[in-house]
Structure 1
Amino acid sequence: MSALSPVYSLQAARAAEQEVLAAEPEPDAVMKKAAQACAGVAVAMLPDTGQVLVIAGPGGNGGDGLFAGAHLALAGHTVHAVLVAERAHEAALATFQAAGGVVHTGADTDDDETYDLVIDAVAGLGASREVSAEVAALVDRGDKVLAIDCPTGCGTQRSVLADATITFGHARTPHANHPECGQVVVADIGLKAAIDKHAPVGYTSFEPSRTTDVWTQPLPDDVHHLATTGPLPRLIPGIFDNKYTHGVTGIAAGSEQFPGAGIMCTAGALHMSSSMVMTLGDITEFPEVVPARDVASARRVDAWVVGPGRGTDDAALAELEEILVTSLPVVIDADAISLIAQHDHLHDKLRGAVLTPHAGEFARLGGSQQELSDQWGCHILLKGRIATITSPQALPVSVNTGNSFAATAGSGDVLAGIIGALVAHRAKQSEAPRPAQHSMQRTLLSAVALHAHAAALAAAQPADNAPAGYAPTTAMAIARAISPAIAKLSARNRRRSS
């Protein structure tokens, strides 16, 4: 997964920082480099002349913010700072004031004052407490929020929600796990070589799935975005392809009580693949689907999807057991995950399977995500704004999907169908004379990326003589947007390779 952005532990990052600070040619040299990078990112978020508020804590993070505010003031922006403690970094504060920055205490700020950008420089990666009411009220005055190293309160029940976060050297674990960081950008400032001496604890990515107004102009040359999820598998049929060559997806989803889950899961697979989709049951909404009575009668299936809306009764359990012993790849979602939580004897049958729980379903499984992947020999995709993928004896990978439009009923069923089609495609390609080497983690990243882009396309609402806006969307609209999402990402990949 080396094409993704590596993620380092906080301990590794702190050790690297101490190494670089010990070699500083003069006091605050590293801080000043960080501040210059922060100012460059702030400019990329601002109009030509904008109003900026720096919320500065008492430590090094506050010093970064104040030095950055000095750069912005000298560049012609109106910059105010609120000190949230009785003390501040002395040299940074003096530089800020000398550059024309205006300092307030929390009590003497104008409640009606608004800002184009708020810079959260309160605590950074050292924060472990919820954001205070005072800081939260100050942050709310900004049109956009830039956090330095980490939003205040990140990972707690009450956090600053940043549009972007700048960090240094490499991404750290909070950036891979917490969507409140927004879009994470990385500046080197001399830390990269020191952090590279440590082993990463995972990999992460950001999928730019929606048109965003975070950036008004390009980032500085020495600051970069996180990696995207990378190229898709080859999904467009070639000259020798037919309805079987990209892998037949079998769907065991939906029931009399929950018919929609089967429809949406099937729609996800149908729009994803040029190959056949076979369903168990009476899903008659799609004339392209081939029905089968049961698992035994389903022919030429290359991968199964089981669980969405299927129920947790004895019949559903027997069907899941039958699918798990077929030796075919299996995507397990929704009700089938509940069955796994209820029946320990299924755990030994999960080797090679893909489990796709949301947070509530995952909590019922017990244990940590990586421990369960290692113990059961399976791949687990924990769904959310940041999706995390674990595989047996492998480092975890994550992707910030870039939007939350898929937070709607049935979108998980669509994703299960997408994953099933891609897993079937992967299984079929492994039989080719020159099989493509795609890890299951890479396959799941592609599925999450396509789902995220489809959700953004489904939510986009064109407006006359104005940029497209966004509105809530539905699972079926997301399914119908899968083909445009494939075209969009395929075009992006062609531009990169040209």
Structure 2
Amino acid sequence: MSSQRGYFTVDEVRTAEAELFTRVPEGMPMHRAAYGLATVVAGELRARTGGIAGRSVLLLVGSGDNGGDVLWAGSMLRRRGVAVTAVLLNPDRAHSKGLAALRKAGGRIRTASEVSPSGDAAGSSRGTAILDETDSDAPDLVIDGIVGISGRGPLRPKAAELVAALHVPFIAADLPSGVGPDTGAVTGPAVRADVTVTFGAYKPVHALAAPYCGRIELVPIGLRLPEPHLAALEPAEIGAGWPTPGPTDDKYTQGVTGICAGSAAYPGAAVLCTGAAVAATSGMVRYAGTGAAEVLDHFPEVIAAPTISSTGRVQSWVFGPGAGTDADASKRLAEILSTDLPVVVDADGLTLLAADPDLVLGRTAPTVLTPHAGEFARLTGHEVGQDRVSAARDLAESWQLTVLLKGRATLVATPGRPVLVNEAGGSWAATAGAGDVLSGVIGALLAAGRDPAWSAAAAARAHALAANLAAHENHPSAAPTSATPLLDHLRPAIRILRALAAR
């Protein structure tokens, strides 16, 4: 799995930790974690304030080992000249050895009952102090050690009050408190960190709730981890696997993509979906539908036909964007699904499948469904819920096909295999028509002979990168984008991925 980044559940990490404790001296894993955390905090202090000594750090400390990691890190920072104050949210359950280490290093210890948000904190750009008037200096950074991977649910009221009063950068230890470690669910007050320092392994929260995690830094502590059930393709792997013409290839051997999309009401969907297939690979794209004139006006290299039967030989089909949901559209979908070719079903095609799942159930050829949350609910009869990974996996297993569940963290589930996740790094692709582009890219990769799960995950990565490039075009600051510039940036995105593979 070296070409993938694994994300490990609480149970998987706990099992690995138990094994680690049998072969290293007691306390070593915590010291490794604390040293890594202190190193990242020191680097942030230097980057943000220009120095380390003389700076101020506030620790929000809960019970258990997570609090111990933070207290030990605080003692290390104190020895480097940082003013460290720890606020204990559960004084009776604070990690005793970590607490003793911080005291010995000269750190200040206070309990949550001794502090309260100052009246003017909410109006201060730095949250001048959550402590009383004797604490005149605001911290430069806050370390969140309120709860670790065993935590569940939102922040408790006192912790939420303290967090809300602070207006300085947060560094989370292992994960932002109040965010579900295995699901990324946020059901109430939670820490929104600028940096998260994770110990031993990446956890699902780091991909599923990235906006709450900020930049993620991994501190190895020696865990021996299993094969992950959730993983992300590395960009270099995507670039290395992206189809490009070989010395003996021609337009047919590289994959011929069939697109059945668009209608009189939605001709733009045909243009976007077909254009994405054209941009994604160097083979051939054939179009079947009523949007031929519009498609050819934008992409004269496409071969257009009025019907599926007259389209000619293709090696994959994409059906659905703007295709309609009437009886004629249903017949076209049934005709495509009756082939032994890989098929991507999106948009209106998903609505048709929700009404008649038998169209796809039992199909043995590769099949990829690409629902957003609303389409998922129509397909299954229930909402996605907080556990998106399980939701995608359950649909894939139940229908025996590949499911791409859209979102900032897009999930790709295939029966019997790890769920793949693509964290987009932003939500610039959340715009009308962007899904049409995505389905066209997936179809082109399938036509080139790529595995359906890989095709869906690789397409999601290139799609997200194209959206980010479009939003930042010629300027470091981003501006809203739309599907057309996203499509225009698809080839540059692929070039970047391929350049990463060449390093």
TM-score > 0.5 by shorter chain:
yes
Cα deviation for residue 485 of structure 1 reads 0.7
Q: Deviations over 1:418-471 (max 9, x none)?
A: 111111122xxxxxxxxxxx53322222211111211111111545xxxx1222
The SS at the match of 2:321 is coil
Letter in 2 for 1:170: A
Q: How many residues align?
A: 455
Name the counterpart of 2:80: 75
Provide TM-score, normalisation by structure 2.
Answer: 0.82
Distance 2:321 2:140 in 1: 44
Secondary structure of the corresponding residue to residue 389 of structure 1? strand
Separation in structure 2 between the aligned mates of residue 182 and residue 342 of structure 1, nearest angstrom? 41
Q: Which amino acid aligns with 2:221?
A: I
Give 2:11's aligned residue.
11
* Worse-matched range after superposition: 337-346 or 92-101: 92-101
Cα distance 1:330–1:257, how it changes in 2: closer, same or farther (>3 A)? same
Cα drift, residue 148 of structure 1 = 1.9
Q: Tell me the secondary structure at the aligned position of residue 264 of structure 2.
A: coil
CA–CA distance in structure 1, aligned partners of residues 278 and 140 of structure 2: 45
2:131 corresponds in structure 1 to none
What are the superposed Cα offsets for residues 109-166 of structure 1, whole Å, 9 maximum, x if unpaired? 5523265543221111111111245545654635543322222121232333334433
Matched residue of 1:297: which SS? coil
1:450 alignment partner, SS class: helix
1:354 alignment counterpart = 368
Q: Report SS of the residue matched to 1:147.
A: strand
- Report the equivalent of 1:294: 307
Question: Which structure 2 residues correspond to residues 14-163 of structure 1 after superposition, within 5 A?
Answer: 14-21=14-21, 25-26=25-26, 28-46=27-45, 47=47, 48-49=50-51, 51-87=56-92, 88-106=94-112, 107-108=115-116, 111=121, 112-113=127-128, 116-132=140-156, 134-136=158-160, 138-139=162-163, 141=166, 144-154=169-179, 155-158=185-188, 159-163=190-194
Quote the Cα distance in structure 2 between the aligned partners of 1:290 and 1:144.
55
Asked if the contact 2:270–2:291 (Cα under 8 Å) also holds between the matched residues in 1, the reply is: no
Q: Distance in 2 between matches of 1:40 and 1:119?
A: 13
Q: Following TM superposition, by how much is the alpha carbon of 1:319 offset from its aligned partner in structure 2, in angstroms?
A: 0.9
Query: Cα deviation per residue 1:337-388 (whole Å; 9 max; x = unaligned)?
Result: 1211211322325432011111221222228432332343311111212222
How far 1:94 moved relative to its partner? Answer: 3.4
Distance in 2, matches of 1:148 and 1:340, equals 44
Task: Give the Cα separation in 1 of the matches to 2:175 and 2:262.
Answer: 42
Distance in 1 (alpha carbons) for counterparts of 2:8 and 2:437: 33
Paired with 1:242 and 1:474, the residues of 2 have a C-alpha distance of 33
The 2-side partners of 1:372 and 1:358 are apart by 13
Check 1:260–1:146 CA distance in 2 against 1; reply closer, same or farther (3 A cut).
farther
For the Cα contact (< 8 Å) 1:207–1:400, is it kept in 2? Answer: no
Instruction: Give the conservation status (yes or no) of the 8 Å contact 2:117–2:161.
Output: no
| Other-structure match for 1:485 | 493
Give the 5 Å matches for 1:210-229: none
Deviates more, 1:257-266 or 1:78-87: 78-87
The offset of 1:305, in angstroms, is 1.0
Instruction: Flag the 1:152–1:70 CA change in 2: closer, same or farther, 3 A.
Output: same
User: Deviation of residue 39 (structure 1)?
Assistant: 1.5
Residue range with higher mean Cα deviation, 481-490 or 355-364: 355-364
Deviates more, 1:285-294 or 1:469-478: 285-294
Alignment TM-score, normalising by the size of structure 1: 0.83
Unaligned runs of 5+ in 1: 209-227, 427-437
Unaligned 5+ runs, structure 2? 122-126, 129-137, 180-184, 383-390
| Counterpart contact for 1:406–1:455, Cα < 8 Å | yes
Structure 2 counterpart of 1:374 = 397
**Aligned residue number for residue 471 of structure 1:** 479
Residues 325 and 349 of structure 1 are in contact (CA less than 8 Å); yes or no, is this contact kept in structure 2?
Answer: no
Judged with a 3 Å threshold, the aligned counterparts in structure 2 of structure 1 residues 291 and 181 are, in CA distance, closer, same or farther, namely: same
CA distance in 1, matches of 2:420, 2:412: 5
SS of the aligned residue for 1:420 comes to: helix
What secondary structure is seen at the aligned counterpart in 2 of 1:469? coil
Aligned to 1:204, what secondary structure does the other structure show?
strand
| Preserved contact between residue 176 and residue 204 of structure 1 (Cα < 8 Å) | no
